[in-house]
């Protein structure tokens, strides 16, 4: 019985370590450099752990990391509103190592602004 408990403990610790590595922290983003980008959504994903957009802004297409879908839903931002072809403005912070990625703090579509963090 003790061996089963030890194996279960080791497996749960390994699972916890794997899950924590899969979720990135926000230290990879430069929160001293706020960006405001307006462009057209070319791709969107509304999945865990975070939704995302490919936003075609003048001169560059950005990968925009959004909030988890559950938070976006609670704050009134549906997957339908993130449709391809929709114009959006995002305010957030650039990734420190990927010059084409940013983490969004808020998003505006039409006249609706949603705080994501």
The pLDDT tens digits for 18-66 are: 444 344 577 999 999 999 999 999 999 999 999 999 999 999 999 999 9
Query: What are the chain's domains?
Result: 26-115 (2.40.50.140)
- The DSSP result for 52-101, as a single string, is EEEEEETTEEEEEE---HHHHHHTT--TGGG-TT-EEEEEEEEBSS-TTE
pLDDT at site 14:
46
The mean pLDDT of the chain is: 86
The pLDDT value recorded for residue 89 is 98
pTM of the model as a whole: 0.77
User: 54 and 40 in contact (C-beta within 8 Å)?
Assistant: no
């Amino acid at each position: 019985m003790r061996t089963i408990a030890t194996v279960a403990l080791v497996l749960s610790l390994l699972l916890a370590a794997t899950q924590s590595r899969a979720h990135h922290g926000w230290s990879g983003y430069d929160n001293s450099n706020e960006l405001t980008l307006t462009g057209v959504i070319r791709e969107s994903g509304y999945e865990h752990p975070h939704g995302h957009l490919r936003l075609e802004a003048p001169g560059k297409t950005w990968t925009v990391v959004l909030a988890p879908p559950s938070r976006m839903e609670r704050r009134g931002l549906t997957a339908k509103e993130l449709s391809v072809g929709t114009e959006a403005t995002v305010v957030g912070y650039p990734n420190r190592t990927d010059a084409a990625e940013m983490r969004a703090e808020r998003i505006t579509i039409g006249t609706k602004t949603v705080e994501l963090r």
